[in-house]
A and B are shown apart, each in its own frame.
Chain A
């Protein structure tokens, strides 16, 4: 379990990082905390000839707050979020999600941007950020920037809509009102392991937002506007059978056990959100 040979560069600026990426986009991988890419390198499942380490880029480690958004640099670690360094876009949710990722040793190095770009279907941020309606700020080699909404970011397992020459710089999370509610529940066989089922729920009566998201479905997070509307209308947790029907009709290949676990995770997340009023 030793990686095949590669070079690693630690550029001092985003421009330099883009330059390194531009030289050989196919053979180059961006590395941040390395908590997923590291094992893949050691298993020789990933075989880049060059790694570009972005953890040292100052802009990527910054946390900012605007009137409408909390902006988290892509190289901010899960541990910094867990420890409350990021202002709350919605009370307590980011800290809760961050604290549930793997183990502290992993959280100390793993980053939010790395986790999103890796796009593991069972990872936390892809589901949580979809529920929060976050957008991702990416920059390309020519200095161009664009924003990708989370709903259009992940295309499938380990696949995103980012182009080869783009680098994720900032995660923009909309600030919710004080009346906002959230729930996040995951079913894990073992503390710290990837989840078997994840459900996220965010509702803000002021901005008239209500989102229901399922994670660990084998692909991109599944967003259900149908369930969200039902909850917004009734203010109640949908019956399990209704949730299961939505999951069955989603077009995803899910076993009965998986459907049940996702439905239960959903029910628990929504119950949690609605009960702490």
Chain B
């Protein structure tokens, strides 16, 4: 059986991950290692008056005053109106959210470090907190960063002729939507272990990250070290989702203290720290006005998007990537001509916003998909018909949309038709009527999106980021025993990249993936890579491995031709061997000749050897667009407000599927997180900015009993612009569930004459709306 591209093979990494053999930061133990615990701000906003270390503990407790030579995290942006923030790894002068690090304490064990942290006294003069992003925009709001004169990291404006439409459009639909603040909750929290390696002259930082090469740059710049003096190693990483793709203040302070004390120092984030200081994503507010004709054909959209960004601008993605993506991606897969959009990236007294799986699109998809259904209701048509008519038709591909996104390929309306068929829309309305007569409320909802994956250099540059991802490199080599090594500076934290990169190498070299070893995540031994985010891993690292493996296959053929007495063009690779007709030599023979018995090779031997590093850039730099439609059938219990998902169907197209099984796993995991967004997850604050959801008893994640049996279908429209036609897919399934599920809820609630326009749609929210609507309105149809 081939193990190349398209093979449904088990993951190489699963044996160690499933049998407890994996090695996370928490599993590493170095001689003389101590543990760190942080003193974190107990107030949302305040001025630090004093920090007092316990008696005799000056060399075990560190504050901003100790770290005076460290540069703050400052993410610059080239976008006009942008305000940058300085985030000191240990708060200096002011604290701006509950959970912000104020002091770092070290001790032989974590429990002792926490005992020490309790004894540190901090005096803070409280300032009025800014909790509501809409109020934070007002002129008299308290200021987080006084020097700005407002609370706006960034405002953007995309203009369109909305005023004409307002006078002429037959149908106008106005809505406000909101999405809750969330925590990403990877199973493994953040963790960092740093020590100074005297022999190498390097600070070695083991850290749970998606972007080891970026973190090396960040640590070097903030600590004033040459990049050669820093080695970052991401060992096994238990989930990232974006949480681990930015430079974290803890990475800096732990590194600084390790260097200062000469002792290995580790910090392991616990769940409470995560739920408080990691409450950093998804919170959007939308004011939308959609203009349509009598059939529901979308003519234009006027949008105001407010993103609750929190206190600081993360490096390198800034506080503004979210709003930039929201404004750019709101029109999504739809074909319409007029668009106006204001975005506001607002500073509040909450943890610094970090992009989470789907980046802005779960919010925009929710807003857009609910709007499509609202238009359909306004014109009295089946929402899925209106949806299909508004999507970019296949005949227009490739298509440049109103925000100049270049959609490379696909058949968007067909993805809706596929879900209609598989979820049984045709028979559903009759079933729904019958159920209503029995007092049961069923609803059906759809949600379609495009996912810009592997967006390239120009796209990131246009977002004004301080650090622009470039082109990806990878190394592939044959070992002296004929097995294969792949090295990539990208990283795998659950997406199965260790397997899929091996499959790409196997595609060219025909060696079984069991004989292909993939090394990632260590800046000391891998080619530079900007890392794993933005659904770029498979396209970019896969492309680089493909190119390197292709060149290496050519070298293998050259050496094989010497051994088989023919020309390289005569050689065919199959089953991990080089064939000339029926004669063959194995990779082990070729490797032995090159490494151990070069005397067997001719004088004019190709000396470049059996090790190749190649770089890759897709033919276009604007990203390739995966798309999908999700469909849900739900039942709402009008007495309890509980929503149960009866059926869930996903139809997606991500181009060439490198490993269909991994892709299905990505879809299940992503959709599960999307269901969390739709129905469960919500960080709540009181009026003082105190988080009310600091344990998993309060912050509710969906569990197995809350999930439907996901069903999946696929199309494979190859991208014309990438190696093997691959498109990125890692984030996709997390995007659509909010739209599909809440559209289904609203469909079910039609007889009550109410809509849910905020997620999560908790029982309290749904039941509250039903109770407020009063008695059941007679169903009109």
Contacts and interface: CB of A to CB of B under 8 A. Distances in A.
Interface of A: 1-5, 39, 43-44, 187, 189-194, 196, 256-257, 260-261, 264
A83 B111 CA distance: 37
A257 B115 contact: no
Given A44-B118, A190-B700, A193-B697, 6 more contacts: A2-B110, A2-B111, A4-B118, A5-B111, A44-B114, A189-B763
A72 to B, nearest CB: 26
Contacts of B767: 257, 260-261
A264 B702 CA distance: 24
Nearest to A4: B115
B763 A190 contact: no
Interface in B675-706: 680, 695, 697, 700, 702-703, 705-706
B337 interface: no
Contact of A1 (B109, B115, B271): B271
A175 B691 CA distance: 46
A261 B642 CA distance: 10
B114 A256 contact: no
B750 interface: no
A196 B762 CA distance: 12
B15 interface: no
Contact of B771 (A39, A43, A192, A260): A260
Given A3-B111, A196-B763, A256 B642 contact: no
A2 B640 contact: no
Interface in B512-530: none
A257 B764 contact: yes
The 9 closest A-B pairs by CB, nearest first: A191-B705, A2-B111, A1-B270, A264-B639, A2-B114, A187-B640, A257-B767, A257-B768, A257-B764
B440 interface: no
Contact of A5 (B115, B700, B706): B115
A190 B682 CA distance: 14
Contacts of B641: 257, 261
A256 B764 CA distance: 10
Interface string B407-430: 000000000000000000000000
A218 to B, nearest CB: 15
B272 interface: yes
Contacts of A189: 642, 680, 700, 762-763
Contact of B706 (A4, A187, A191, A261): A191
Given A189-B680, A191-B706, A257-B768, A43 B272 contact: yes
11 contacts: A1-B270, A2-B110, A43-B272, A190-B705, A191-B705, A196-B764, A256-B768, A257-B641, A260-B639, A260-B771, A261-B763
Given A2-B114, A187-B640, A194 B697 contact: yes
Interface of A (DSSP majority class)? loop
Given A1-B270, A39-B695, A191 B640 contact: no
Contacts of B768: 256-257
A46 B645 CA distance: 39
Contacts of B702: 190
Contacts of B764: 196, 257
A243 to B, nearest CB: 12
Contacts of B110: 2
Interface residues of B, number: 27
B763 to A, nearest CB: 6
Contacts of B706: 190-191
Contact of B703 (A43, A192, A194, A256): A192
A4 B112 CA distance: 9
A54 B763 CA distance: 39
A43 B694 CA distance: 10
A275 B768 CA distance: 29
Contacts of B115: 4-5
Interface string B455-489: 00000000000000000000000000000000000
User: Considering residues B110, B115, B695, B767, which has the most beta carbons from chain A within 10 angstroms of its beta carbon?
Assistant: B767
A187 B763 contact: yes
A255 to B, nearest CB: 8
Nearest to A191: B705
Contacts of A260: 639, 767, 771
Nearest to B763: A189
Contacts of B118: 4, 44
A48 to B, nearest CB: 15
Contacts of A256: 768, 771
B772 to A, nearest CB: 9
A36 to B, nearest CB: 10
B642 A191 contact: no
Nearest to A194: B697
A83 to B, nearest CB: 20
Contacts of B109: 2
A103 to B, nearest CB: 9
Nearest to A268: B639
A230 to B, nearest CB: 20
B681 to A, nearest CB: 11
A3 B118 CA distance: 12
Contacts of B762: 189
A126 B366 CA distance: 42
Nearest to B639: A264
A5 B115 CA distance: 8
B703 A191 contact: yes
Interface string B513-553: 00000000000000000000000000000000000000000
Nearest to B704: A191
Contacts of B771: 256-257, 260
Contacts of A3: 111
A210 B115 CA distance: 52
A173 B110 CA distance: 45
Interface string B245-273: 00000000000000000000000001110
A23 to B, nearest CB: 23
Nearest to A267: B639
A219 B111 CA distance: 34
A187 B764 CA distance: 11
Given A187-B763, A257-B767, A193 B639 contact: no
Given A2-B114, A260-B771, A193 B700 contact: yes
Contacts of A192: 703, 705
A190 B762 CA distance: 11
Contact of B640 (A43, A190, A264): A264
A43 B271 CA distance: 11
B417 to A, nearest CB: 34
Contacts of A39: 695
Contacts of A187: 640, 642, 763
Contacts of B703: 190-192
A1 B697 CA distance: 15
Nearest to A196: B763
Contacts of A190: 680, 700, 702-703, 705-706
A192 B680 CA distance: 14
Nearest to A259: B771
Contacts of B680: 189-190
Nearest to A187: B640
Nearest to A197: B640
A191 B706 CA distance: 7
A259 to B, nearest CB: 9
Interface string B263-297: 00000001110000000000000000000000000
A101 B147 CA distance: 53
Nearest to B770: A260
Contacts of B695: 39, 43
A266 B15 CA distance: 49
User: Considering residues A5, A39, A192, A196, which has the most beta carbons from chain B within 10 angstroms of its beta carbon?
Assistant: A196
Nearest to B37: A2
B395 to A, nearest CB: 45
Interface in B731-771: 762-764, 767-768, 771
